[in-house]
Structure 1
């Protein structure tokens, strides 16, 4: 008879509820480097008997070979689906792994973004649960199954989803926008059926072996753990990883700036036209990151109070919503303005977006707009850190981008100190309204 599932699962659910409001940027961040080169960041929080761990390595999609676009994401997907047999235990297929994590009441996952491959573990710190969760996570990190039938199934699922996505105008708009903004840069690569077909489990195994290296890893821990215990957890988690000499990975080129404007217009039978306007933006380590952030809140990132929302929605009723954003990474991610509107109103919406961008770059915000944006950002900052998971995300980003350990503590003061002139200088340096990419899908050319 199968034993009853671990009673600690109920406690974990309670912990997830209690976690809101438990984390604070005032908590000190301890940082050290392990003998194997792994850089560890620990926020000790004893208020809850739980631990969140994130491991980041330089294995994002910017490392995908062009003919195998989607390799990093596929590696992350298969990493969680089965474990090979080892002295630590018998082989576990994907279903057995799911059952094992469910029995522990813990969570294990992996994902790949543009820059990094991320692995996350969440568990209670009750000694027997923590020990079992770390042991299972260590096995998955050391010897994923890379099962051929599982990858064949997932590849078919990804292909079906891709084909369905081609029936939507937003897919076409996003693809053409990425092509125009990034051109040959890896940030603009698209995973497609033919690139997935070029990936086999040997390619997954090789990609993982080359990029899952302790010397490149940033490990962030948030929870009820002291430094000595955190060190033991990290050592166990990475025990199966080898540095393979830890030679430097090939350099990735920077995103080249645009030299001229480009407009792409595609007819599409849809009730709403999809509009994207933008260009390459900034990398996360740009010294004007916060000035760009505050300015974007005013222009189109601040919801109903933003300039673009006032001009396109409130004054003219062209859309339900219009938003601007920067997507900074280790390289210059795109700046974009996105809106949906009636096809016969698309040209008017595009003209207004261009006009507001030119005006903002030339003149910057008013003093009132700046004061209101700073107040909104500063007052909302606590919501970015009001759970262990959010705190983990922020500290992991801090670690990945090499920001100062007191960055979160100084964030509100730095935002409050930004003046109009700094925003104007930053936006004039970064944004060039005479070189914008404009993509319209769904309106008649």
Structure 2
């Protein structure tokens, strides 16, 4: 009886996966770049600044601040009309939306092209006009859509398609924010919850390619400009003490936004609520132009030491209120930048109080640490939050010490609250079942 050497597995499926990985990075990079440029174009046209230079040195906040009160109200009113009737049309006439997480976990990981594209474009348009929600979901959806289409065309398996859909989402995030490693870690920690080598390689390759491709139109720029902050015992001590506070605040924020999303209308009341909501935001923006947009403005002002404690507290209350009200009115968008902004504003308030006891640390240093801690808990992604904040701000690696301390305390407090809430829910269900049985 003769024995034969086993034949190696065919290399063609591996080559196809590699090709789809590269093409996903390119497609997500181009898609993210196009969405970012569209955002800038709408912002500049709506508020009348830097019309001939989409990517320039004049910020969105500077353009909004220079616009008249009537223009701010008018733009937000238009935002309400577009958001209300746009999402009403998507829900009424489009195929059911498939979220990225649902696509990754289902037997059919493909997302409906027309509905997904319309959903993404509406997010970009409304955020550009002043919606307080985040813009990061749109490029992730477009990246996942492209990855799913490429995977199907290449004949990849269902498991490989799921992997590529997740990588497409991370690549879209990497492209629009110039965070190649943050995009990859987002895939590994949040979407796939795996750090296996077979997942790590395509996630890194697609995200890096997407970020580099997006440089063609957006440049290799960091999202936030921050001054140099020195590491100090003062800041580390504050991070240890205040970390749990950010976890509690993030837990409350998630509860509010989750309930608002769940109660959002999809019928004829959506346009009415949307118009009313954004009209109120426009009126508030007459006195507080900092509230417009996804939250990048207050975060940048906080990182740059340009906010007083009183103004930070006021902006925090308004931002939380209009974020919740916009979700309740039916608007769609992410919560990454809004959460980061809330953390920065809360940190300025807490840090300002701390300096009365132990002075010496700049307010901006507190803001960076607080933004990281809040983002880690509100999005349930401690590793991704750390990587994103380092890439967003390009702070010195020494700053990882207070950031890690704050994130650890924030996550611990947040998980404790989640555990208690889960236990209460289970107890209530048990009592309800016993009552029905009796």
What TM-score, normalized by structure 1, do the two folds share?
Answer: 0.27
Name the one with the larger helix percent.
Answer: 2
What TM-score, normalized by structure 2, do the two folds share?
Answer: 0.28
